[in-house]
Amino acid sequence: MVTLCFCLALTLCVTVGFSTTIQSPDGDIVDCTDILAQPAFRHPLLKDHKLQETPKNLPNLAKDRDELTWQTWHRSGSTCPEGTIPIRREVGHENGTTNSRAGAEVTQGHEYAIGYLNSTMQIYGTKVTMSVGHPKVDQVREFSLGQLWLVAGSYKKGDLNSIEAGWQVFPGLYSDFQPRFFIFWTRDAYTRYRCYNLQCAGFVQTSGTVLIEGAISLMSPQITIQIWKDPHLGHWWLSIGSANDTVLTPVGYWPTEIFTCLSDYAERVQWGGEIVNTNFSGRHTTTQMGSGYLPSSAKAAYMRDLEIVTNNRDFQPTDDLIVGTTNPAYYDIKKSSNTSFSYGGPMHAGAVHIIIDSIVFYFCISLFLLF
Ligand SMILES: *[C@@H]1O[C@H](CO)[C@@H](O)[C@H](O)[C@H]1NC(C)=O
Ligand SMILES: *[C@@H]1O[C@H](CO)[C@@H](O)[C@H](O)[C@H]1NC(C)=O
Ligand SMILES: *[C@@H]1O[C@H](CO)[C@@H](O)[C@H](O)[C@H]1NC(C)=O
Ligand SMILES: *[C@@H]1O[C@H](CO)[C@@H](O)[C@H](O)[C@H]1NC(C)=O
Ligand SMILES: *[C@@H]1O[C@H](CO)[C@@H](O)[C@H](O)[C@H]1NC(C)=O
């Protein structure tokens, strides 16, 4: 039987043409794919693009090919062989919402609790350490995430460019409820060019150890994400680390060619949580944001050590952070310092307590009056 399975697996590998296939403990199948055969190189604007090496001056660069442990698939000791990158085999796209939708529809039902800057400036990168949540997501077509945004252009002109990265629970896209490391980009306000992970051409992955779309291990309560625009060639480099790593592993880059407005710099940067409530004309669904706790709780989700890169090209702490939430009746956000905040919800879990408390209160008062 074992031999049969082995033969079948081998046949599959040969037939499909992958050099190595790795089975993750959570059921994901990971194909180590030739780095030059990755989706990015099918992008018409990247026809003449040459695969870039990691810039030597990339900040917080991990020196060696570290043994990573923060993703579930690492438990099988997994890294892909030199010259290949791990790509998660597609499973759940047919139930997903990745197919393009009309611009107006895209943000309907989306709710945010985010931190941003009170001033406008030219931004060339950001770094943040964020807790990884395991929020409940009520409906398959809803998601809950914690992420950063680097944005230029506008919705109004239809040229909004955005680079996004973080963790996301999205059953309609990944067919389960684990928080997964994800990336996203758009160059036309989420209409035609909107792309999750490596599911379409754009992002160039260089790492053989980080699995985009891979689940984040329960043992990794937080991740650090850095995005830095290479001042020389203009590509936006993504690095990631777990827990309290002081050095970060480069994952790859968004080539400057694929953008319009973001080819120069980002005009805005944001960090925080987002959920989708599909029942936007009825009763709000029970989807949680962050960890499902309000900022008043010690268990609330957080973003900390916020840094940005401005003209001088160095990372520096934010000093004019402001926070806001689009549906304060459900999800809250609280600034804890110039460089950190906590966020999440929903409120109604708390509201239930308040109602019970006041019932008890009135009950006691009535008792008091009776006697
Ligand atoms: C934002 O900046 C303006 C102008 O500099 C200032 O008046 C305002 O108080 C700031 N808002 C916050 C919330 O810090
Ligand atoms: C996606 O669709 C398949 C087949 O229709 C189904 O078996 C699976 O449960 C669905 N996944 C989710 C997360 O609903
Ligand atoms: C990371 O640092 C924070 C604050 O310094 C500390 O509370 C936490 O225990 C550290 N986590 C790990 C996994 O070392
Ligand atoms: C949507 O809202 C309606 C009306 O408020 C409610 O009856 C229904 O149960 C809600 N659906 C979900 C999935 O929450
Ligand atoms: C926070 O930033 C303001 C400037 O916006 C500065 O005056 C203040 O000292 C900073 N607070 C801390 C704790 O660094």
With contact defined as beta carbons under 8 Å apart, do 131 and 146 qualify?
Answer: yes
Does the residue 201 lie in any domain? Answer: yes
Mutate to test the pocket of ligand 5, among 338, 339, 341 (most ligand atoms within 8 A of CB): 338
- pTM for the model: 0.85
**pLDDT of the residue at 58:** 95
Number of structural domains in the chain: 1
**pLDDT of the residue at 17:** 47
- What separation in angstroms does the CA of 252 have from each of 30, 51, 206, 246? 18, 10, 5, 19
Quick check: CB of 282 below 6 Å from ligand 4?
yes
Mutate to test the pocket of ligand 3, among 132, 244, 336 (most ligand atoms within 8 A of CB): 244
Quick check: CB of 350 below 6 Å from ligand 2?
no
Query: What does DSSP assign to residue 212?
Result: T
Quick check: CB of 283 below 6 Å from ligand 4?
yes
Does the residue 27 lie in any domain? Answer: no
Give the residue ranges of DSSP H helices in the chain. 2-16, 103-106, 171-174, 347-370
| Residue nearest (by alpha carbon) to ligand 5 atom 11 | 338
Closest ligand to 140 CA?
A: 2
What's the 119 CA to ligand 1 centre distance in angstroms? Answer: 8
| Phi, psi angle pair for 337, to nearest 5° | -165, -175
**pLDDT of the residue at 66:** 65
Does the residue 67 lie in any domain? Answer: no
Query: Which ligand 5 atom is nearest residue 337's CA?
Result: 13
**pLDDT of the residue at 65:** 61
d(CA 300, CA 112) in angstroms, rounded, equals 15
Does the residue 223 lie in any domain? Answer: yes
| Residue nearest (by alpha carbon) to ligand 3 atom 5 | 244
Does the residue 71 lie in any domain? Answer: no
Q: Which of 111, 142, 164, 213 is catalytic?
A: 164
| Residue nearest (by alpha carbon) to ligand 2 atom 2 | 95
Does the residue 49 lie in any domain? Answer: no
Instruction: Give percent above pLDDT 90 in the chain.
Output: 73
d(CA 44, CA 214) in angstroms, rounded, equals 27
Does the residue 50 lie in any domain? Answer: no
Catalytic annotation present for 164:
yes
Ligand 1 pocket, residues with Cβ under 6 angstroms? 118, 322
Low-confidence residues in the chain, pLDDT < 50: 1-18, 92-104, 349-371
Does the residue 334 lie in any domain? Answer: yes
CATH assignment of the domain containing 289: 2.60.120.1270
Under DSSP, is residue 98 helix (H, G, I), strand (E, B) or coil?
Answer: coil
Give residue 176's domain range. 93-370
